[in-house]
């Protein structure tokens, strides 16, 4: 915007009215905090529900059922599923949640056979701490997602009690898949006996197809196979299943876009108001600067740079604080056993700061243009 040697003058103008500067930066920081939090929710929805060309997972659920408590399928369906053309593997899974309502603190247990888990799931996960072999040996062992572990303060060797299930934390895992970050994987037979006191019933089947081109054909074949059975099924791609299960929650998050736009408007208004007041206070000073050889274009750049600094100060504070709080809290919205994480990181900080700087520049353009157009004689007569 301006040469470096002019920066002390701009900084002096920003710090001259400390109270005004602090109030403006605080307002910008508050608005950017809310905007970044909203954007983190939007990013989480996209990560959890947007399909890609590489997706190869289907979820088989009980027809017309949504909450895991109500979806019951016979485990022997697995034999028929594996015979369908295009199916590479299938994992029967029992899901137990602390509640089916939308909440920031739902605990989700997923019971899976250890052999199928090692073949289909272990490859997409990274072991952060603990021992996978210990999980295989202990019937009550759990592999805990890093988000759930951070939120509950769990570490290796802890006893974990939730939803009437008591487990031993054998390992903490990390995964790029949103549905792996906020769950605890336990042995299928252990979870069946703990909750139902019997074996043979699962909540869903997760099918891995040989190629994305088989997603639709396999889904139709599975539902047709069990259409006349006692327990009919509804089969969808995993991310489409998440989108339907959490439809109300996703709609509510979508509404928060308006809150985000409101935050950006607040940033523009706050910075613009501060710059207008500052320019009004310095009318005679600008006349003196013009007398000393500062041309109108240079005065414009000084004012816009001042506006930029206000936006930068508030943006760094608000965006950094928002991402810090979200990372510390490890928040995730969960409903009906599916999770939507708050996706916040350095990229979101840079985006928030860049946007606040851009808005700061825009907010300073009109006051800068007005100050540059004002005749020197008028400036000296101003009170």
How high is the pLDDT of residue 282?
62
How high is the pLDDT of residue 114?
83
**Residues contacting residue 291 through CB under 8 Å, at least 6 positions apart:** 376
How high is the pLDDT of residue 219?
92
> Is the pTM value of this prediction over 0.85?
no
How high is the pLDDT of residue 381?
55
Q: How far is CA 334 from CA 34, 99, 200, 337, in A?
A: 21, 9, 27, 6
**Residues contacting residue 338 through CB under 8 Å, at least 6 positions apart:** 48, 179, 241, 242, 245, 246
How high is the pLDDT of residue 373?
65
- For 191-238, the DSSP string reads HHHHHTSSSSEESEEEEEESSGGGHHHHHHHHHHHTTTSSS-EEEEEH
- Among 13-22, 51-60, 272-281, name the one with the lowest average pLDDT: 272-281
Highest mean pLDDT: which of 100-109, 178-187, 242-251, 267-276?
178-187
How high is the pLDDT of residue 308?
86
What is the rounded radius of gyration, in angstroms, for the C-alpha atoms of the chain?
A: 29
Query: Given pLDDT bands bounded at 50, 70 and 90, which one contains residue 376?
Result: low
Q: Is residue 10 scored above 70 in pLDDT?
A: no
pLDDT in tens, 136-177: 889 899 999 888 888 888 899 899 888 788 999 999 988 887
Comparing 1 with 308, the larger pLDDT belongs to 308
Is residue 169 classed as helix, strand or coil in its secondary structure? strand
CA proximity to 93, closest of 340, 339, 337? 337
- For 280-341, the DSSP string reads HHTHHHHHHHHHTT--HHHHHHHHHHHHHHHHHHHHHHHHHHHHHHHHHHT-EEEETTEEEE
Rounded CA-CA distance 352/266 in Å is 14
- Over residues 70-96, mean pLDDT: 91
How high is the pLDDT of residue 383?
46
**Residues contacting residue 135 through CB under 8 Å, at least 6 positions apart:** 114, 141, 142, 143, 170, 171, 185
For the chain, what are the domain ranges? Answer: 4-48+248-381, 64-231
pLDDT in tens, 191-235: 988 887 778 899 999 999 988 888 999 999 999 999 998 899 999
Residues of the chain above pLDDT 70, percent: 84
Query: Given pLDDT bands bounded at 50, 70 and 90, which one contains residue 4?
Result: low
Q: Is residue 275 scored above 60 in pLDDT?
A: yes
- Among 212-221, 256-265, 287-296, name the one with the lowest average pLDDT: 287-296
What is the rounded average pLDDT for all residues in the chain?
A: 82
Comparing 305 with 350, the larger pLDDT belongs to 350
Q: Is residue 380 scored above 60 in pLDDT?
A: no
Q: Is residue 101 scored above 80 in pLDDT?
A: no
Q: Is residue 337 scored above 90 in pLDDT?
A: no
- Over residues 2-8, mean pLDDT: 63
pLDDT in tens, 338-370: 878 888 888 889 998 999 888 888 888 877 776
Rounded CA-CA distance 319/113 in Å is 43
- Over residues 293-309, mean pLDDT: 74
Other beta carbons less than 10 A from residue 164's beta carbon: 10
- Over residues 184-194, mean pLDDT: 91
Query: Given pLDDT bands bounded at 50, 70 and 90, which one contains residue 377?
Result: low
How high is the pLDDT of residue 79?
92
- Among 84-88, 271-275, 349-353, 354-358, name the one with the lowest average pLDDT: 271-275
């Amino acid at each position: 915007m301006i040469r470096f040697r002019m920066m002390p003058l701009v900084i002096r103008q920003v710090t001259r009215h400390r109270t005004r500067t602090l109030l403006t930066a605080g307002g910008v920081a508050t608005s950017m905090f809310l905007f970044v939090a909203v954007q983190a929710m939007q990013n989480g929805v996209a990560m959890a529900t947007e399909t890609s060309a590489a997706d190869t997972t289907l979820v088989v659920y009980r027809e017309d059922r949504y909450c895991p408590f109500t979806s019951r399928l016979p485990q022997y369906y697995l034999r028929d599923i594996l015979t369908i053309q295009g199916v590479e593997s299938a994992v029967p899974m029992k899901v137990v949640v602390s509640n089916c309502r939308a909440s920031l603190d739902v605990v989700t247990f997923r019971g899976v056979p250890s052999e199928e888990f090692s073949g289909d799931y272990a490859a997409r996960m990274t072991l952060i701490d603990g021992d996978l072999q210990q999980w295989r040996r202990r019937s009550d062992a759990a592999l805990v997602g890093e988000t759930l572990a951070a939120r509950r303060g769990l570490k290796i060797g802890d006893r974990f009690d939730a939803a009437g299930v008591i487990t031993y934390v054998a390992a903490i895992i990390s995964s790029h898949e949103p549905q792996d970050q906020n769950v605890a994987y336990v042995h299928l037979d252990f979870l069946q006996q703990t909750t139902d006191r019997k074996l043979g019933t699962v909540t869903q089947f997760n099918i891995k197809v040989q190629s994305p081109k088989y997603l639709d054909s396999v889904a139709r074949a599975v539902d047709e196979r069990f259409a006349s059975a006692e327990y009919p099924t509804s089969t969808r791609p995993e991310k489409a299943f998440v989108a339907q299960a959490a439809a109300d929650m996703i709609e509510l998050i979508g509404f928060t876009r308006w809150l985000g736009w409101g935050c950006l408007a607040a940033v523009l208004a706050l910075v613009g108001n501060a710059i207008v007041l500052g320019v009004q206070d310095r009318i005679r000073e600008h006349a003196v600067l013009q007398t000393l050889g500062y041309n109108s274009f240079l005065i414009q750049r000084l004012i816009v740079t001042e506006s930029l600094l206000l936006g930068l100060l508030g943006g760094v504070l608000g965006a950094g604080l928002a991402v810090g709080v979200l990372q510390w809290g490890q928040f995730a919205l969960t409903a009906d056993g599916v999770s939507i994480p708050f996706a916040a990181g350095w990229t979101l900080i840079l985006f928030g700061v860049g946007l606040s700087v851009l808005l700061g520049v825009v907010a300073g353009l009109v006051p800068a243009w007005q100050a540059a157009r004002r005749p020197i004689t008028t400036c000296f007569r101003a009170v």
